[in-house]
């Protein structure tokens, strides 16, 4: 028996694919939280040490790392990144003609 599996190409935003109305914001917050986690790992910080740098308590760092982001704004997550020694640059530019609406995107270097 040769079973065929139907595969659907994703949009690049899992939250949009799942039908969330605020999909773009969710993706940005998840990207920022992932970068926070990478920095903590790179610097070999404990959650307690990271919490101290970010001005929050350790359980909140755990929530961030586990992806529980409902209580955090994009602005607050960016504040955590600057507290961890990262610069944030916001660039506004015209969207290409192929898209009617602009988009929000996180790019890390």
pTM of the model: 0.85
Q: Considering only CA atoms, which of 5, 4, 79, 86 is closest in space to residue 39?
A: 86
pLDDT of 74-108, one tens digit each? 999 999 999 999 999 999 999 999 988 888 888 88
Quick: pLDDT tens for 5-20.
Answer: 988 888 888 998 999 9
Evaluate whether 36 touches 77 at the Cβ level (below 8 Å).
yes
Look at residue 109 in the predicted model and tell me its pLDDT.
83
- Taking the C-alpha atoms of residue 91 and residue 61, their distance in angstroms, rounded to an integer, is 28
**C-beta separation of 106 from 25 below 8 A:** no
The upper half-sphere exposure of residue 99, i.e. CA atoms within 13 Å in the direction of its Cβ, equals 8
pLDDT at 30 over 70: yes
Kindly indicate the confidence band of residue 1, based on its pLDDT and cuts at 50, 70 and 90. low
What the chain holds in terms of domains, given with CATH numbers, is: 14-83 (1.10.260.40)
- Give the CA angle between residues 81, 32, 57 to the nearest 5°: 55
* Separation between Cα atoms, residue 33 and residue 67, nearest integer Å: 7
């Amino acid at each position: 028996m040769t079973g065929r599996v139907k595969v659907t190409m994703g949009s690049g935003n899992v939250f949009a694919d799942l039908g969330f109305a605020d999909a773009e914001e969710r993706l940005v917050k998840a990207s920022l939280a992932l970068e926070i986690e990478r920095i903590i790992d790179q610097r070999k910080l404990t959650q307690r040490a990271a919490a101290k740098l970010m001005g929050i308590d350790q359980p909140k760092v755990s929530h961030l790392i586990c992806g529980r982001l409902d209580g955090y704004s994009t602005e607050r997550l960016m504040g955590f990144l600057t507290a961890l020694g990262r610069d944030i640059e916001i660039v506004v530019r015209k969207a290409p003609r192929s898209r009617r609406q602009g988009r929000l995107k996180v790019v890390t270097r």
